[in-house]
């Protein structure tokens, strides 16, 4: 009742706008409009809250689809220790810009849950989805995304593992990545009391939205780059509005004409909250680390001059000197070849649209699109130059992670995810179609990308923080 009273003015004002002025986009019904307004209200209130308050306000559980079961458990820290061994090797070139605090575990495991319908155990092909929630790396949880995870479980007939990876600023990069890799290692070699046998990696798809989409793609890069350690690659990766460029360098991220609920991020995500214990601790540690990096000349400079900002840290998740690390901003990797099949889905009205488009082209055509100017020449030295099978879908009139809301485009995107999962796990016994870049209208009809979508392919400031 309290929540209803708090939200009633927003519900009333949105309803009046919907019927008197029309929705922000023609295909939005009242329910979609209201949910969009709620998200705007939550994010616009950020500058009146501390980061801790925002984390609390953004933790409300989402409803679960009927006939879907939730079983909560904890993944033991031994899988984090195993993940650290792999990460230590691939992060070696970047260790001079990272705070080693991520190795100090502050809890006894990763809070996790299985989301499934009955009958998964009896399937010949045990399709499994590792789901990574979004939330700018500093908010949300497996509980807040149960509407998506339960929908995926029901529609795809797969078992979904959702985890609460550690959040920034309390746990900066690569803590979240360590947890994600640990969850994957758990699926490959579960504990004796897990209740299931080791899973075939050819049956595992990782899926994530927004920051979770970026983490999903970062995980696939980690597995690829750690190939000498015997890590088997995933069957496929699904990115829903994936955040793959933390330098916020692409044009659409600053487009105020889009109908997205994500605010303009030109000042980053770490400067919008009221000062608090968490933000002060982050600021102090960041200053110490920055001085250590630059004054002691510990290693090669791996950041662009645009990353040096007088107002400090751009994001809670990572220090500015680390923004171009490929496991932070996968779009900036030296190569996006030799990855598992990808399905990238974004809305035409969202700020993350351009980075999804650019990432898709870089992965499907790695010799043609080679990343930021300051990485010139590095692709040619990369051992990963085989094109990645990539399907990109841009949905008309849709905002960021529109799968959280009911719409014909939401239904179509779930259908496409199901088909993708069935193909990459060989459930259909059919090969994947060639890489493609698609525009999907509100009727579910497919066509090539529009000319305005392709403009970003000639963008000169890839990976450069806007001034």
Residue 5 has a pLDDT of 46
Q: Report strand pairing: 342-347 vs 204-209.
A: unpaired
Of the two residues 4 and 193, the one the predictor is more confident about is: 193
Residue 426 has a pLDDT of 86
Task: State residue 244 phi and psi, 5-degree precision.
Answer: -115, 5
User: Sorting pLDDT into bands at 50, 70 and 90, what band is 12?
Assistant: very high
The answer to which of 130-139, 168-177, 410-419, 425-434 has the lowest mean pLDDT is 425-434
The first and second tokens of residue 404, run together, are: 């959280």
For residue 174, is the peptide bond before it cis, meaning its omega torsion is within 30 degrees of 0? yes
Q: d(Cα 79, Cα 183) in Å, to the nearest integer?
A: 7
Distance set, CA 403 to CA 113, 145, 151, 257 (Å)? 20, 10, 10, 21
Q: d(Cα 153, Cα 129) in Å, to the nearest integer?
A: 8
How many CB atoms within 10 Å of residue 87?
21
What's the whole-number mean pLDDT along residues 186-198?
94
For residues 137 and 167, the answer to whether their CB atoms sit within 8 Å is yes
The first and second tokens of residue 333, run together, are: 């990797």
Of the two residues 298 and 176, the one the predictor is more confident about is: 176
Domains of the chain (ranges plus CATH)?
2-48 (no CATH), 69-260+325-458 (3.40.50.1820)
Q: What is the largest CA-CA distance in the chain?
A: 62
Residue 1 has a pLDDT of 42
Q: d(Cα 230, Cα 40) in Å, to the nearest integer?
A: 44
User: Sorting pLDDT into bands at 50, 70 and 90, what band is 6?
Assistant: low
What's the whole-number mean pLDDT along residues 394-417?
98
What's the whole-number mean pLDDT along residues 17-38?
96
pTM of the model: 0.96
For residue 163, is the peptide bond before it cis, meaning its omega torsion is within 30 degrees of 0? no
Q: What is the pLDDT of residues 231-288, one digit of tens each?
A: 999 999 999 999 999 999 999 999 999 999 998 877 788 878 999 999 999 999 999 9
Q: Which candidate, 443, 402, 427, places its Cα nearest to that of 39?
A: 402
Task: State residue 292 phi and psi, 5-degree precision.
Answer: -65, -40
What's the whole-number mean pLDDT along residues 304-332?
94
pLDDT averaged over every residue in the chain: 94
For residues 161 and 216, the answer to whether their CB atoms sit within 8 Å is no
User: Sorting pLDDT into bands at 50, 70 and 90, what band is 327?
Assistant: very high
């Amino acid at each position: 009742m309290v929540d209803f009273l708090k939200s009633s003015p927003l519900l009333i004002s949105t309803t009046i706008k919907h019927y008197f002025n029309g929705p922000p986009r023609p295909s939005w019904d009242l329910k979609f409009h209201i949910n969009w307004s709620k998200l705007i209200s939550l994010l616009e209130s950020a500058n009146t809250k501390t980061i801790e308050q925002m984390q609390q306000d953004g933790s409300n559980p989402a409803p679960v689809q009927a006939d879907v079961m939730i079983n909560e458990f904890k993944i033991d820290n031994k899988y984090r220790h195993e993940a650290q061994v792999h990460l230590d090797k691939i992060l070696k070139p970047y260790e001079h810009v990272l705070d080693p605090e991520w190795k100090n575990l502050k809890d006894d495991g990763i809070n996790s849950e299985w989301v499934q319908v009955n009958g998964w155990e009896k399937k010949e092909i045990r399709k499994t989805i590792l789901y990574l929630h979004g939330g700018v790396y500093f908010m949300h949880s497996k509980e807040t995304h149960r509407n998506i995870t339960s929908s995926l479980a029901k529609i795809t007939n797969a078992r979904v593992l959702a985890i609460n990876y550690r959040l920034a600023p309390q746990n900066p990069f690569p803590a979240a990545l360590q947890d994600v890799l640990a969850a994957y290692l758990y699926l490959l070699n579960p504990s004796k009391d897990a209740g299931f046998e080791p899973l075939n990696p050819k049956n595992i798809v990782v899926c994530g939205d927004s920051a979770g989409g970026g983490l999903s793609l970062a995980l696939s890069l980690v597995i690829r780059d750690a190939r000498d350690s015997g890590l088997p690659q995933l069957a496929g990766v699904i990115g829903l509005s994936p955040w793959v460029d933390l330098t916020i360098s692409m044009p659409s991220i600053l487009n105020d004409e889009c109908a997205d609920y994500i605010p303009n991020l030109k000042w980053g995500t770490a400067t919008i909250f009221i000062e608090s214990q968490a933000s002060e601790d982050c600021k102090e540690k960041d200053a110490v680390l920055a001085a250590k990096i630059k004054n002691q000349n510990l290693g090669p400079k791996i950041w662009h001059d645009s990353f040096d900002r007088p107002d400090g840290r751009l994001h809670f998740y990572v220090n500015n000197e680390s923004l171009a690390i490929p496991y932070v901003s996968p779009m900036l990797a030296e190569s996006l070849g030799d990855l598992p099949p990808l399905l990238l889905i974004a809305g035409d009205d969202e700020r993350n649209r351009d980075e999804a488009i650019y990432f898709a082209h870089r992965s499907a055509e790695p010799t043609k699109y080679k990343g930021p100017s300051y990485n010139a020449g590095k692709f040619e030295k990369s051992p990963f130059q085989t094109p990645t099978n990539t399907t990109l879908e841009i949905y008309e009139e849709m905002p960021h992670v529109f799968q959280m809301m009911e719409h014909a485009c939401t239904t179509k995107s779930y259908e496409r995810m199901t088909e993708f999962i069935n193909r990459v796990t060989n459930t259909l016994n059919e090969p994947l179609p060639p890489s493609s870049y698609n525009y999907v209208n509100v009727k579910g009809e497919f066509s090539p990308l529009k000319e305005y979508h392709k403009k970003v392919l000639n963008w000169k400031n890839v990976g450069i923080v806007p001034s």
